[in-house]
């Protein structure tokens, strides 16, 4: 019993990180204590593993998630008008700011776009229908910002910490772990639907403005893109509005930044 109490006390910093600061050190019965301790130690181990996961492993998880998203959503074929348009407006953008990028279009009506930590960027046809080429470029710049500033990496680690039931299905030939296929869908939703912090969104907006300037695209397109999202705010199914701050306020701030 003393050994168990010492172990739990040693785990207190980790338990605190997991939000488990209310754990008791006194057990009513030895069997119940052992069972409870096992769950706590298991959760603490999850937290510790998530905190120390390597960059290689994070990229591997994102790669697995990207493949699954591409499996679930129709990618625009090379000769499709959306693919042709996106290829034209992102010409020369196979890499940027030290990142290798894979930018493609989904034939999905939702007004949305996302990026994964492995450099995957996906733009939905619904968003392309609403925005000009330069406005789409700004959205892409914003998503690249999330990757470059490692916001997705932080969300991934948080999701790994929070999902105590998550398991892995062995290892790939490279030695990196893979999320079990049966749990991948739910994990993707947890990562994709989590909101970035206000500071992260602001930093990515600033990155997008810098991206537009560096590529000699009009920065004003960033503000007009936000105007369009704000105008769409009354309707349902607007993906970017579910996980991003008020676009009207972002547009106002961007215009101040542009001067």
Active-site positions?
A: 143
Residues whose CB is less than 8 angstroms from the CB of residue 151 and which lie 6 or more positions away in sequence, other chains included: 145, 196, 200, 203, 204
Q: Are 108 and 125 in contact (CB under 8 A)?
A: yes
Q: How many other CB atoms sit within 10 Å of the CB of residue 196? A: 19
Give the separation between CA 136 and CA 114, rounded to whole angstroms: 12
**Helix axes of 220-231 and 247-258: crossing angle, nearest 10 degrees:** 160
Q: What kind and span of H or E run contains 255?
A: helix 247-258
Q: Both tokens of residue 30?
A: 């030895």
Phi then psi dihedrals of residue 208, to 5 deg: -60, -40
Q: Alpha-carbon torsion 69, 74, 77, 79, what sign?
A: negative
Give the separation between CA 119 and CA 27, rounded to whole angstroms: 48
């Amino acid at each position: 019993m003393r050994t168990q109490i010492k172990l739990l006390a040693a785990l207190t910093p980790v338990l605190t990180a997991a939000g488990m600061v209310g754990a008791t050190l006194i057990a009513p019965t030895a069997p119940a204590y052992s069972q409870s301790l096992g769950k706590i130690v298991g959760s603490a181990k999850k937290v510790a593993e998530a905190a120390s996961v390597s960059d290689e492993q994070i990229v591997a998880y994102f790669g697995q998630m990207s493949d699954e998203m591409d499996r679930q959503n129709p990618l625009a074929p090379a000769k499709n008008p959306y693919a042709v348009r996106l290829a034209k407006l992102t010409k020369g953008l196979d890499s940027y700011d030290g990142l290798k990028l894979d930018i493609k279009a989904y034939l999905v009506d939702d007004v949305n776009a996302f990026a994964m930590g492995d450099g995957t960027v996906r733009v939905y046809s619904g968003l392309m229908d609403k925005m000009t080429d330069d406005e789409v470029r700004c959205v892409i710049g914003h998503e690249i910002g999330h990757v470059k500033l490692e916001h997705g990496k932080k969300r991934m680690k948080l999701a790994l910490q929070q999902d105590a039931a998550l398991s892995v299905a062995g290892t790939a030939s490279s030695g990196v772990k893979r999320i079990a296929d049966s749990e991948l869908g739910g994990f993707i939703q947890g990562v994709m639907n989590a909101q970035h912090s206000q500071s992260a969104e602001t930093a990515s907006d600033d990155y997008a403005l810098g991206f537009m300037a560096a590529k000699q695209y009009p920065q004003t397109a960033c503000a007009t893109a936000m105007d369009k999202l704000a105008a769409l705010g009354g309707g349902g199914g607007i993906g970017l509005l579910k996980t991003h701050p008020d676009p009207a306020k972002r547009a106002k701030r961007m215009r101040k930044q542009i001067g």
